């Protein structure tokens, strides 16, 4: 049987980007998990890398849902699936991809000229 070692979570929201990112960050911390890295893709998408103790997946599911983030069905199944295989691995690596739905234009950032 396939043993899952990596969580690939995704969700979407119409909430304001900075506020939702802060809420999700707090939710991850409240679940006893920690953020290891993140990437911002304009104002369209944020990808958060995290580690979570396998025993805290239920907490993570609950705290993420309380933010108002709409997790995909596949994400919920990963978080709330059978507990047996989770306990073999103490900590799980994962990513959470958040897509922001809005009508705003892309964020444009000036790239400084590099002498040379």
Each residue's pLDDT, cut to its tens digit, for the chain (116 residues) gives: 344 579 999 999 999 999 999 999 999 999 999 999 999 998 899 999 999 999 999 999 999 999 999 999 999 999 986 654 445 568 899 999 999 998 777 777 677 888 86
For residue 30, what are the domain limits?
Answer: 10-100
Give me 8's structure tokens: 């690939």
| pLDDT of amino acid 93 | 95
- Say if 41 falls within a structural domain: yes
How many domains, in total, are found in the chain?
Answer: 1
- Say if 114 falls within a structural domain: no
Q: For 67-90, give one letter per residue: b (16+ CB within 10 A) or e.
A: bebbbeeebeebbeeeeeebeeee
| pLDDT of amino acid 110 | 75
Q: Is 32 helix (H, G, I), strand (E, B) or coil?
A: coil
């Amino acid at each position: 049987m396939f043993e899952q070692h990596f969580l690939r979570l995704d969700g979407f929201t119409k909430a304001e980007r900075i506020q939702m990112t802060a809420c999700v960050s707090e939710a991850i911390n409240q679940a006893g998990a920690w953020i290891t890295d993140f990437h911002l893709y304009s104002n369209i998408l944020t990808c958060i890398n995290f580690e979570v103790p396998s025993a805290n997946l239920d907490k993570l599911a609950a705290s993420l849902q309380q933010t108002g983030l709409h997790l995909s069905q596949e994400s919920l199944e990963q978080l709330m699936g059978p507990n047996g295989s989770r306990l073999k691995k103490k900590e799980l690596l994962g990513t959470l991809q958040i897509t922001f739905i809005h009508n705003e234009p892309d964020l444009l950032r000036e790239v400084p000229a590099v002498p040379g």
